């Protein structure tokens, strides 16, 4: 039987994503609803080690549901990778009276949470917060939907200038290990090709595709490139390569970068964050631990943290085919 | 055995929604991909009766994936409710050589399609296009996600002025029969109360809730009201009622209206439209008829049109509870 | 010779507008830059009477430049219209050590400031903050540019659905006394007609214009109506009138309302607010009083408050002509 | 006395900018209003040489006022720099019956227009279309206001992630020769420093400023860098330099690039484009030639093309001071 939980700590960790604030708000208000205390932990595990805690009541999260970033800040913590760091963190939590943790973050953050929870008697629940959507056990991570819209709006803008000048653009979007963002914004942005980590199109087929596109009467084109694509060249080298092998296009590059992490969360991400915060806190109150809250078949569900970490988030192969058909 | 399909007609019908153009584009390009012809039918069934057809090839739908509204236009057709009207429509289709139809619209449009298909030998597939998300057989209709974001952005703006003036706003959003929009934007917009057709909160409980909110230290509040809510008063009468019974608030009303139908579709709606168009055309080519394409558990699926029409799209009751917790 | 100013009070008053927070930030930081103290006064004159002051240093206005509304809140104050109210306000300011005031607001707020300044020895500077742009002595008030963009984006959305359905929309925008918003968004939104307080088009000419538009091949139309237009009918009566006299159009109405006041300020409004705050504080420090800061010929300038109040903000008649030509 | 003008050609040239389409629309409709013909010339001077003309009537520019880019496309033309090229262009114009030209573009485009007009008997009027605002004779070029808003929205997004991670960002914005964009978005985005071509801050003062900012309690910072800044290092070298000399910050870089050229034009740019198109056409009809239409003191005015080219667009030094004060 689990001990009674009287105070929950919440933190954000790893890269920030839109919806993290909405998640914090939900955790805090669900605690208030159940009459338990809540403290925010500043800068993730780093703040746990430094003992930086902020008491949070229902009013303290007022007006943040629509704000990007995270009011609790986030950081990567080297110290938390040491036993001494985690020991210090545990002592701080005990002194503060924290009985359980909600960790909003990605893979790395969950690994830390699992180790911590196994070493000390501290129930933990994870909420997947990352724009990359690279977590197993949920169809959507917090911030993913917002990032998709952010990127698509930028592609629309680049399309304006691409077609005015009859240019070819390589647009690099986030996604080191998975191509979710690239694949979806590629379809939504009407891209000619989509280069993702899961597939190596090859330079020959890329050229072929661009030639075919040009011949079919298109005067401008957009190619979406995920950071982690496997074609063997970065986006600037790709430009040079195409410049060399195709005189038909003026080629340009755009690297979207960090803007993809910011912005006011979409309706979907705000609702998802609200649901996840409720599920995380109530699962802790039910005595559960070491799970990640996720959205599966539109329903809140729990996946053991170790599975969430080890499992692979797979791209929707159907979308690759849809993309091919759309570029007919 | 079904006859071979050589030419598909596509039309939009009923209230327009963002993503309809992306849906048209997908139908047209999927036809091109499979080397069959495609014609656009102007103004829905009305154009079928008038014989207004536009040949559409892959290039003809260029640059429309991100445009709101529908390039094929839409209308409600009284004539199509008569046998004569439908007969005339059929003759026009035959003359044009159209072998099958893709109908993008809502309940009413699907009813028309079913009747037409039963009377004449014309395979039909439906794509659910409406912002209300009130169709059985799909978790998301085309335009619904975009409308949610449109409404949430407006709520954010109204929140700015509401909290500057410590006011209470009643905001009316679309939803005659179902509360999907109201429920989601209510959670995402941090609304104090959400009035939906599926539930009659009652005036007493509304007042109670507003009093509780005021006492908890909130200085401004937002109440989301679906058009079809059952509280027995329209949004202006609600304002008067609360004005009478609560002196604590200055009350204001905002009716969002038709702007909810417009705007560039979200990434989600563009991808959904692209997937649905492929599925609709390829299902016809496989000899299927009288189905609606839908998204169920993130997978493209088919629901018989009669079930789509008779079935009920149910709101997520979990969200009502989440909303209650969030307004702690 | 003016006394030395050691502490400045800043308040927002009247209807809120985007850019007020950027204005507060600028006043606070300019005070910090010149090593004088600054206090925020909550809810305008009402907070002066209640003695609600918040000390503000440079960091206290962090992160507000892009937020709509006003963190100091605003209210209309009946009490400040009485001699007793103003006496109380003055005593509170004296006790707080406030030597001078910056009032961000509109006509009414400036009138209060002038009376107050004449009764008591308190230098005041006005910053014009209102979306209506109805203030003499500045080509742009704070929030006006943002409101224009907000309204135009909504018109674009309504245009999507209007042209999908071949409808005529009457869209009511803010502007009780002046037609600045209506005139600009009418041109920018491609409106068929623009009804403003400064001109009475007359119902006959409106009908004529709509008929001409229909005959010229346009299938949908938008008419922008300022709240204070002089055609003698409100926007719903206008709809009924046109419904009666023209069968060619399905007519719809959209009243934009309070959303026009909210939203993140545009680049222009943020820069304008920053410039105005500097000018207001530095003018006080130079011993000036009873002026409004304004933008004239792209340069910061001062207009005596009484002229700002009595003078008339005139619409650009050239725009009416441009609008006529554009609807050719 | 000038000959009677019966047909005007309109073209866009140089880098595209939001509002060019609104400008084309205005030229076309003003022609229609005055019952003269109008032809669009595709891809600027290149299309003149190829003889690619499109007849344009009032309806042909429907629905483009809110579209980014240019429907007439744009290109840089080497051939137009040769006498032979211009001769060919003139012959094509004569054959097409074009009596006068409206050129929408920047410095380079105007130089071409001037030479062409001096060699052949062809009246020309220029409309300044470029996001850089680097043209003498107008306070605003077409697209500048839109670009400012585009950039500021991106800075807001980057600010979200910068402050979540306590990072320093160098954000590169357009501006090879002038710092208008950098200066305005720097003030509007709350940047710590703004590096512009007109001023060399120097690396030492940059470091000083960043140290001062850190010491004043700011945990994150944004530095805006115009492409053409004179500090002697590109934005990536700047990052490396600061990385080396300051351990206090994690530094990141974002290069905004071509997205700055796209997007739906702001209300201001649409109105400006509409006014400029009217002024350009009517000036031609009045027999004027070789002028650029501009906005000076909020009034449409004409500047001789040679002055527009030779003159210098100066940044507002007041803004540099405002920026300094705001970073107190």
Residue C224 lies in a domain: yes
Q: Concatenate the DSSP letters of all residues of D76-134 into one string.
A: --SGGGSHHHHHHHHHHHHHHT--EEEEEE-HHHHHHHHHHHHHTT--EEEEEB-TT--
DSSP 8-state code for residue C286: T
Establish whether B283 is an annotated binding residue: no
Residue A2 has pLDDT above 70, yes or no: no
Return the pLDDT at D2.
55
Cα angle, residue C190 at apex, residues C185 and C194 outer, rounded to 5°: 60
SS3 call for B3: coil
Q: First CA to last CA across chain D, in angstroms?
A: 60
Q: Long-range contact list for A207-212, CB < 8 A, 24+ apart?
A: A207/A242, A207/A245, A207/A246, A209/A327, A210/A168, A210/A242, A210/A246, A210/A249, A211/A246, A211/A248
B-to-C residue pairs, Cβ atoms closer than 8 angstroms: 109
Give the C-alpha separation, A128 to A308, whole Å. Answer: 9
- Residues C157 and C112 placed together within one structural domain of the fold: no
Residue C42 is encoded by which pair of tokens? Answer: 């909550």
- Residues D305 and D232 placed together within one structural domain of the fold: no
Residue A178 lies in a domain: yes
pLDDT tens per residue, range D45-77:
999 999 999 999 999 999 999 999 999 999 989
- B118 Cα to chain A: minimum distance (Å): 31
Contact D148, D188 (CB under 8 A): yes
Q: Which of D12, D158, D262 has its CB closest to that of A160?
A: D262
Q: Which residues pair with D193 in a beta bridge?
A: D223
Contact assignment for B322 to A275 by CB distance below 8 Å:
yes
- Residues B292 and B257 placed together within one structural domain of the fold: no
Residue D1 lies in a domain: no
Residue A280 is encoded by which pair of tokens? Answer: 């995380």
Secondary structure of C195-212 in HEC code, one letter for each residue: ECCCCCCCHHHHHHHHHH
Q: List the catalytic residue out of A16, A99, A121, A132.
A: A132
Return the pLDDT at A1.
41
Beta strands A53-55 and A37-41 are: antiparallel
- Residues C252 and C291 placed together within one structural domain of the fold: no
| Location of structure tokens 């300038």 | C301
Cα angle, residue C295 at apex, residues C293 and C299 outer, rounded to 5°: 105
pLDDT tens per residue, range C52-67:
999 999 999 999 999 9
- Residue A162 with chain D: CB contacts under 8 Å: 258
Distance from CA of residue A90 to its chain's centroid?
27
Inter-CA distances, B296 with B133, B138, C309, D136, Å: 13, 6, 61, 59
Q: CB count, 10 Å around CB of A40?
A: 23
C-to-D residue pairs, Cβ atoms closer than 8 angstroms: 128
- Residues C18 and C128 placed together within one structural domain of the fold: yes
Q: Which residues pair with A296 in a beta bridge?
A: A299
Burial C52-91 (b: 16+ CB within 10 A, else e): bbeebebebbeebbbbbbbbbbbbbbeebeeeebbebbbe
SS3 call for D6: coil
Q: What share of chain D is helix, strand, coil (3-state, %, to 5)?
A: 45, 20, 35
Query: Pick from B61, B63, B70, B64: which is nearest to B13 by CA?
Result: B70
Q: Is the dihedral of CA D255, D261, D263, D266 positive or negative?
A: positive
Residue D323 lies in a domain: no
Contact A294, A128 (CB under 8 A): yes
Helix extents (H) in A11-128: 20-33, 44-50, 83-96, 107-119
Domain that holds residue D18: 7-143+265-310
- Residues B139 and B149 placed together within one structural domain of the fold: no
Establish whether D50 is an annotated binding residue: no
Contact assignment for C164 to B16 by CB distance below 8 Å:
yes
Q: List the catalytic residue out of D132, D134, D229, D269.
A: D132
pLDDT tens per residue, range A29-86:
999 999 999 999 999 999 999 999 999 999 999 999 999 999 999 998 999 999 999 9
Contact D49, D89 (CB under 8 A): yes
Give the C-alpha separation, C129 to B170, whole Å. Answer: 26
SS3 call for A7: strand
Residue B279 lies in a domain: yes
Q: Concatenate the DSSP letters of all residues of C120-186 into one string.
A: TT--EEEEEB-TT---TT-S--BTHHHHHHHHHHHHHHHHHHHHHHTEEEEEEES-SS--HHHHHHH
CATH code of the domain containing B127: 3.40.50.450
| Series of mean pLDDT values for 10-residue runs along chain B (328 residues) | 85 97 98 98 97 97 97 95 97 97 97 96 97 96 98 98 96 96 98 95 93 88 95 92 91 97 98 98 98 96 96 91 94
Establish whether B77 is an annotated binding residue: yes
Query: Pick from A35, A60, A88: which is nearest to A285 by CA?
Result: A35
Residue D90 is encoded by which pair of tokens? Answer: 């003139």
SS3 call for C227: coil
Q: Which of C159, C164, C263 has its CB closest to that of B157?
A: C263
Q: Of the ranges C314-328, D87-101, D261-275, which one carries the lowest mean pLDDT score?
A: C314-328
Label residue D1 by pLDDT band (50, 70, 90).
very low
Contact B187, B326 (CB under 8 A): yes
Residue A319 is encoded by which pair of tokens? Answer: 């979308």
Return the pLDDT at B109.
97
Give the C-alpha separation, D126 to D138, whole Å. Answer: 12
Inter-CA distances, A213 with A243, B58, C25, C285, D25, Å: 16, 12, 52, 65, 30
Q: First CA to last CA across chain C, in angstroms?
A: 60
- The question of whether A156 is a catalytic residue gets the answer no
Cα radius of gyration (chain A): 22
Residue B316 lies in a domain: no
- Residues A27 and A82 placed together within one structural domain of the fold: yes
Domain boundary among C239, C261, C283: C261
Chain B contact probe: residue of C11, C70, C258, C266 with most B CBs at under 10 A: C258
Contact assignment for B16 to C156 by CB distance below 8 Å:
no
- D159 Cα to chain A: minimum distance (Å): 8
Contact assignment for A159 to D262 by CB distance below 8 Å:
yes
| Location of structure tokens 């139309």 | C221
Q: Which of D75, D154, D163 has its CB closest to that of A165?
A: D75
Of all residues in chain C, the one with the smallest CA distance to D19 is C188
Contact assignment for C275 to D322 by CB distance below 8 Å:
yes
Residue C44 has pLDDT above 90, yes or no: yes
- Torsion angle of alpha carbons A140, A146, A147, A151, nearest 10°? 130
Contact assignment for C254 to B257 by CB distance below 8 Å:
yes
- Residues B255 and B271 placed together within one structural domain of the fold: no
Q: Which of D18, D43, D164 has its CB closest to that of A69?
A: D164
- B77 Cα to chain C: minimum distance (Å): 12
Contact assignment for C69 to B254 by CB distance below 8 Å:
no
Contact assignment for D257 to A262 by CB distance below 8 Å:
no
Burial B102-116 (b: 16+ CB within 10 A, else e): bbbbbbbbbbbbbeb
Residue B325 is encoded by which pair of tokens? Answer: 């917790």
Give the C-alpha separation, C296 to D141, whole Å. Answer: 19
Distance from CA of residue D4 to its chain's centroid?
32
CATH code of the domain containing B236: 3.40.50.460
- Torsion angle of alpha carbons A305, A311, A315, A318, nearest 10°? -110
Return the pLDDT at B2.
55
Q: Is the dihedral of CA B230, B232, B234, B237 positive or negative?
A: negative
Label residue C2 by pLDDT band (50, 70, 90).
low
Burial D90-126 (b: 16+ CB within 10 A, else e): bebbeebebbbbbbbbbbbbbbbbbebbeeeebbbbb
Interface predicted TM-score (ipTM): 0.97
Contact C216, D58 (CB under 8 A): yes
User: Could you tell me which residues come within 8 angstroms of residue B91 by beta carbon, excluding any fewer than 6 positions away?
Assistant: none
Of all residues in chain C, the one with the smallest CA distance to B42 is C164
Count of structural domains, chain B: 2
Give the C-alpha separation, C16 to B160, whole Å. Answer: 9
- Residues C106 and C252 placed together within one structural domain of the fold: no
Of all residues in chain D, the one with the smallest CA distance to A162 is D69
Return the pLDDT at C38.
98
Establish whether B299 is an annotated binding residue: no
Establish whether D15 is an annotated binding residue: yes
Give the C-alpha separation, D179 to C125, whole Å. Answer: 31
Q: First CA to last CA across chain B, in angstroms?
A: 60
User: Which residues of A make up each annotated binding site for Mg(2+)?
Assistant: 107
pLDDT tens per residue, range D176-225:
999 999 999 999 999 999 999 999 989 999 999 999 988 888 889 999 99
Q: What is the mean pLDDT of residues D124-151?
A: 97
User: Could you tell me which residues come within 8 angstroms of residue D306 by beta carbon, excluding any fewer than 6 positions away?
Assistant: D114, D290
Chain D contact probe: residue of C160, C326, C327 with most D CBs at under 10 A: C326
- Residues D234 and D295 placed together within one structural domain of the fold: no
Give the C-alpha separation, A17 to A131, whole Å. Answer: 6
Inter-CA distances, C93 with C8, C75, C99, C100, C288, Å: 10, 18, 8, 9, 19
- Residues B21 and B50 placed together within one structural domain of the fold: yes
Contact D92, D41 (CB under 8 A): no
Q: CB count, 10 Å around CB of B320?
A: 17
Establish whether B122 is an annotated binding residue: no
Give the C-alpha separation, C98 to C320, whole Å. Answer: 46
Residue C321 lies in a domain: no
Contact D143, D268 (CB under 8 A): no
Residue A2 lies in a domain: no
Label residue A143 by pLDDT band (50, 70, 90).
very high
- Residues A123 and A271 placed together within one structural domain of the fold: yes
């Amino acid at each position: 039987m689990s001990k009674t939980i009287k105070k929950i700590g919440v933190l954000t960790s790893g890269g920030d994503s839109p919806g993290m604030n909405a998640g914090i708000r939900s955790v805090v208000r669900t605690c208030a609803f159940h009459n338990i205390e809540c403290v925010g932990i500043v800068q993730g595990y780093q703040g746990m080690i430094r003992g930086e805690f902020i008491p949070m009541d229902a009013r303290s999260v007022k007006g943040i549901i629509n704000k990007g970033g995270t009011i609790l800040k986030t950081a990567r913590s080297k110290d938390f990778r040491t036993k001494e760091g985690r020991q210090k963190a545990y002592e701080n939590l005990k002194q503060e009276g924290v009985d359980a943790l909600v960790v909003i973050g990605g893979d790395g953050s969950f690994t830390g949470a699992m180790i911590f929870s196994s070493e000390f008697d501290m129930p933990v629940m994870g909420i997947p917060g990352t724009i990359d959507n690279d977590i197993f056990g949920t169809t959507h991570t917090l911030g993913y939907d917002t990032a998709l819209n952010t990127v698509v709006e930028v592609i629309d803008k680049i399309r304006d200038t691409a077609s005015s000048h009859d240019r070819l653009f390589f647009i690099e979007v986030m996604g080191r290990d998975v191509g979710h963002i690239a694949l979806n914004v590629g379809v939504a942005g009407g891209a000619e090709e989509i280069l993702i980590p899961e597939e190596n199109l090859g330079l020959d087929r890329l050229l072929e595709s661009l030639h075919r596109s040009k011949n079919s009467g298109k005067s401008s084109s957009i190619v979406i490139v995920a950071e982690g694509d496997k074609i063997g060249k970065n986006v600037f080298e790709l430009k040079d390569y195409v410049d060399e092998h195709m005189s038909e296009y003026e080629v340009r590059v755009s690297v979207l970068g960090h803007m993809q992490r910011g912005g006011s969360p979409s309706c979907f991400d705000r609702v998802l964050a609200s649901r996840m915060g409720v599920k995380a806190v109530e699962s802790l109150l039910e005595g559960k631990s070491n799970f990640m809250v996720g959205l599966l078949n539109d329903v809140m569900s729990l996946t053991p943290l170790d599975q969430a970490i080890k499992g692979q988030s797979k791209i929707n192969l159907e979308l690759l085919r849809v993309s091919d058909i759309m570029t007919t």
